[in-house]
Structure 1
Amino acid sequence: MARVAEIDTMLVDKARSFIPRLRERGAETDNIRRIPEATIEELKEAGLFKILRPHMYGGFQSNMRTYTDCIVEISQGCGSTGWIVALCAIRELMVAESFSEKTHQEIFGENEDVVFAGVYEPRKCIAKRVEGGYMIEEGFWMFCSGSLHASWGYFGMPVMDEKGKLIDQCLMTVPFNQMEIMDDWHTMGLRGTGSNSVKMNNVFIPDHRVVSFSQALNGNFASQHLRDVPLYNTALFPSLILSLGLPGLGLVKAALEFFQDKLPGRKAAHIGVEYVRDAASTHLMIAEASLKIDSASMHYYRVADDLDDWAQRGTYMDKPTRVRALADIGYANQMCKEALDLLMLASGSGFVYEGNPLQRIFRDFWTLYSHRSLSPNITKENYGRVLSGLESNALRY
């Protein structure tokens, strides 16, 4: 157990060590609209894509708390890089849990240099049943973060009967060299994530690389060879949504740090004091922002710890707890937004200049905050329904 704790500490320390260099590469990351290759290679060398990968495939097989720590640290250096590590690493969990040993052997083999990208919601996917698997005649998925660095992908695939009625929503894995990546990620924020649309035409997917997503969401995993590893009993959907929110926590922590660093020398105007740090309004805003960040952190870490606790007990997290976990994530996202609003208001208009780190944080955070899966309103509504003795309206949780 001590060795596991040492490894977890080592991973978090490595993630923290990236902050200065990621900040130095921030402008480059935005300009080239992808993570610099030097950063990708350093992340691979540090093993930060493999936090949740099984030991048998060269991973650290850690836990959701360590994962959370690492993503928050990296995101304090760069929102785009934090987003990529968050999503690529959580896909390791998804693939490990959802697919069979045969599929894992095909993906990893003797090559541990694997990076995953993927999207579980297709915008269009025409899949035909053929001998031994499925032919994807036409598939189109938007927002495929990490597409420019991926070697393997997972994608949602609806399975229809002969009358066109939906039978199941499935997941498939496919080598990324069978995908076409579109250059359409021209955005306000998270510019470096390379979240391009991807498509495929007439690609054969063998049966062993197709699993039921609906079954996986309820803990019925095809990875029978990993059933005795607690990590791979982790509730899938809350983990996926947690991965989307955590970079936002790192971003607002960085915003608070930048605000405090600049505060001592900031002159005041029209508020009755010489320096901004002497104003009572500053004291109120920075205190409230800090407490909101703390509140967001407590909700995010409650999710991570609950995921670990249920997995360690060998019991798949029940539906009410999963709905609450999603509400925790949505609420934490809202707390981060309100904290950032306060810090931006207290910072004055200087953030509008290019090169001001707060501007990039603002753009990155708002791109993240708007993700529908992180919606405070939707997640609270569904939690409220469960608290009222009703079924959640969410199709997936």
Structure 2
Amino acid sequence: MSVPGDFPLQYSPSINADLVGRARDLRPLIAANAARVELDRQLPEATVGALTEAGLLKLTVPRRYGGHETNFATYLAVSAEIARACGSTAWVTALINICNWAVCAAPDKAREDVFGADPDARVCGVLAPGGTATPTGDGYRVSGSWGFTSGSPHATWAVVGVQVANGGRAVEFGNVLMPMAELTIKDTWHVAGMRGTGSNTVVAQDVFVPAHRFIRLSFGGDQPDNHPDEPLYRSSMVPSLALVLAGPQLGLARAALDHTLATIGKRGISYTFYDHAVEAPFTQFQIAQATELIDTAALHVFRSAAHIDQAAIEGRAMEITERLRVRMDTGYAITRCRQAIDLLLDANGASSFAESNPLQRIWRDSSVAARHAIASPSVSAEAYGRAVLGVEEQMTLVI
């Protein structure tokens, strides 16, 4: 059994088929390691090594450092493809790549420290200002802790949010870039889903950060265009940060569909006369609806990717309504993916929740990932509604 089209290449002509093909080739290895990922609560070195060798952890690294400098459509397609084998692996891949992108959008001196020294550097990070940066001479002394730092066990650098303190008062917000060797990791990630993402708490205690590794933030506006010849790094920040979270969700939903199509024809439906579940009209409806929901989600995700990519190519700042539509598309797509997974669980019945059944892990991973604050469907809908209605006062600075 199959569904129309080549997922996810069918959704955008700008997707790099070679990079998606590399992700597809790794799926057997990633799937074989998925159970170990849950037990260890981080990716095994075999998976990290394979992702590194395939170049899938440097999607957003400049070509000058040996990266792919790829567009967001390809980025999303790669993470979706990986999620068909393991949600945690896709999440780590997506989050490391977006943190790499954030560093590469910074001025040359900062990114040279990271990727000039090590083209295979991996950056983890948290946008929220969980720390304080105190100015001192030619830099800052930074202390703080940042929870939910996905991929931290595999990272070589961290980019994390801080408030700059002057006389005990916050005067500015930004990100600081620090080597993981100068930080500690608290093992705090004990959760129901996305167990293998290593989203632990990163701690800094009076770490010196040179001034050039402080990156100013501009919520609701675009970052400075530090690299005019590299359009990727002038992509709108908040829309990009939000949208990449939808890639793993698309892949998880498709994984649920893949599993269902591969197995549902082999069983009947208990307490009915259906010897084959595929003969039941309600099963047919569930599969059709789930497939359409996944398709709907993907169309919204790749539409937004196209808008981000095109605006960056044109050197055009996305308007507030455009930005918030990306967040709306993100929340909407994630909701559709979750609905599709629920329908597929219904079609498969109570056996879906056996520990040996990958559907229960897919369900848990999708449910946990969907609660990421920047992808909240409710917040996104309210903010977008205000913009469409022309309400000047917003309820978030993260636009």
Q: TM-score, normalised by structure 1?
A: 0.94
Using the TM superposition, give the Cα deviation of residue 127 of structure 1 relative to its aligned residue in structure 2, in angstroms: 2.4
5+ residue gaps, structure 2, are 1-12
Aligned position for 1:306: 307
Aligned position for 1:324: 325
Give the Cα–Cα distance (whole angstroms) in 2 for the partners of residues 307 and 6 of structure 1: 13
Does 1:76 find its partner at 2:84? yes
Percent identical across equivalent pairs? 36
Give the Cα–Cα distance (whole angstroms) in 2 for the partners of residues 220 and 44 of structure 1: 28
Cα contact 2:134–2:166 (8 A) shared by 1? no
Give the Cα–Cα distance (whole angstroms) in 1 for the partners of residues 352 and 286 of structure 2: 17
Which of 179, 187, 193 aligns to 1:189? It is 193
Aligned position for 1:384: 385
Give the Cα–Cα distance (whole angstroms) in 2 for the partners of residues 227 and 380 of structure 1: 33
Letter in 1 for 2:196: G
1:154-201 CA distance string (max 9 Å, x none): 00011133251x322111101011110011111111111100011110
Aligned position for 1:351: 352
Aligned position for 1:179: 183
Letter in 1 for 2:190: H
Using the TM superposition, give the Cα deviation of residue 6 of structure 1 relative to its aligned residue in structure 2, in angstroms: 11
Aligned with 1:92: secondary structure?
Answer: helix
Aligned position for 2:221: 218
Using the TM superposition, give the Cα deviation of residue 273 of structure 1 relative to its aligned residue in structure 2, in angstroms: 2.2
Cα contact 2:135–2:165 (8 A) shared by 1? no
Aligned with 1:366: secondary structure?
Answer: helix
Aligned position for 2:396: 394
Letter in 2 for 1:107: V
Aligned position for 2:97: 89
Q: Which has the larger displacement, 262-271 or 170-179? A: 262-271
Alignment of 1:209-248 (within 5 A): 209-214=213-218, 218-221=221-224, 224=226, 226-248=227-249
Which of 129, 132, 142 aligns to 1:122? It is 129
Aligned position for 1:111: 118
Aligned with 2:145: secondary structure?
Answer: strand
Give the Cα–Cα distance (whole angstroms) in 2 for the partners of residues 351 and 324 of structure 1: 35
Letter in 2 for 1:228: D
Give the Cα–Cα distance (whole angstroms) in 2 for the partners of residues 120 and 314 of structure 1: 24
Cα contact 1:117–1:152 (8 A) shared by 2? yes
Using the TM superposition, give the Cα deviation of residue 220 of structure 1 relative to its aligned residue in structure 2, in angstroms: 3.1
1:31-84 CA distance string (max 9 Å, x none): 111101011011111000111111112211111111111111011110000001
Does 1:167 find its partner at 2:168? no
Aligned position for 2:148: 143
- Shift of the 393–78 alpha-carbon distance from structure 1 to 2, 3 Å rule, reads same
Using the TM superposition, give the Cα deviation of residue 104 of structure 1 relative to its aligned residue in structure 2, in angstroms: 1.6
Q: Which has the larger displacement, 343-352 or 105-114? A: 105-114
Which of 21, 29, 51 aligns to 1:13? It is 21
Which of 151, 159, 165 aligns to 1:154? It is 159
Does 1:208 find its partner at 2:212? yes
Give the Cα–Cα distance (whole angstroms) in 1 for the partners of residues 215 and 132 of structure 2: 17
Root-mean-square deviation (CA), in Å? 1.6
1:243-273 CA distance string (max 9 Å, x none): 2221011001000110111111111223342
Aligned position for 2:287: 286
Cα contact 2:26–2:50 (8 A) shared by 1? no
Cα contact 2:163–2:172 (8 A) shared by 1? yes
Cα contact 2:231–2:312 (8 A) shared by 1? yes
